[in-house]
Amino acid sequence: MTARAFEELRLTGYFPGVVGKITELHAVYYSEHWGFDITFEAQVARELSLFLSNFQTDRDGFWVALLQGRFAGAIAIDGTLGTSEGARLRWFIVEPRFHGNGVGRELIRSAVEFCRNAGYHKVFLWTFRGLDAARKLYEQAGFTVTEESEVDQWGSRIVEQKFEMTLDAAS
């Protein structure tokens, strides 16, 4: 990304319509590239709506990336299990036309920084094998794969992966 474009990257929180934008981006991308069915879109819409309805600023984080004033992606931290299993990174996605522009890296950086500041000992996320660009970003941030299993989900057969990062107080 050019310095000018990066200067135009702005992270914000909730705004009216963003649940629909995030849901649509997930639904279209994963249907086109992975053959996911309606159950995936419905799950994203339901769980994201529930998350934002129960959002607690001291426990949860939610960032929307705007690049040159346009919706570019999103990420969330669900702290519901923060004291037991760790904080969960969810709904990370970047609009394909903005891939490779640093948007994903900045979203992950903000989410991990939030977790450190909130005092979480661990951050985890669930994804699946084949999302190589996202995996590279996760690994660059310090996440490692801790579990893998083949599952039938969302009308497809995938290898589900759990990534985790341990956060120490000194980080």
Domain of 100: which CATH number?
3.40.630.30
Predicted pLDDT of residue 7: 60
Range of the domain at 66: 3-166
Residue 31 lies in a domain: yes
User: In this predicted structure, what is the pLDDT of residue 158?
Assistant: 67
**Is residue 59 in some structural domain?**
yes
The tens-digit pLDDT sequence of the chain (171 residues) is 444 455 689 999 999 999 999 999 999 999 999 899 999 999 999 999 999 999 999 999 999 999 988 999 999 999 998 777 889 999 999 999 999 889 999 999 999 999 999 999 999 999 888 778 888 999 999 999 997 888 777 877 867 889 999 997 544
**Total of domains in the chain:** 1
DSSP state, 121? S
Rounded CA gap, 46 and 19, in Å? 10
Q: Which residues are within 8 A (CB) of 170 and not within 5 positions of it... i.e. 6 or more apart?
A: none
121 within a domain of the structure (yes/no): yes
Question: Looking only at Cα atoms, what is the longest distance across the chain?
Answer: 44
Distance CA 96, CA 94 (A): 6
Residues in the chain: 171
Torsion of CA 53, 147, 75, 27, to 10 degrees: -80
Residue 171 lies in a domain: no
What confidence score (pLDDT) does residue 171 get?
Answer: 44
pTM above 0.75, yes or no: yes
Edge-to-edge order in the sheet of strand 144-153: 9-12, 61-67, 70-78, 87-94, 122-128, 156-166, 144-153
pLDDT in the model for residue 2: 46
Per-residue pLDDT at 152:
77
CA distance 66 to 63: 10
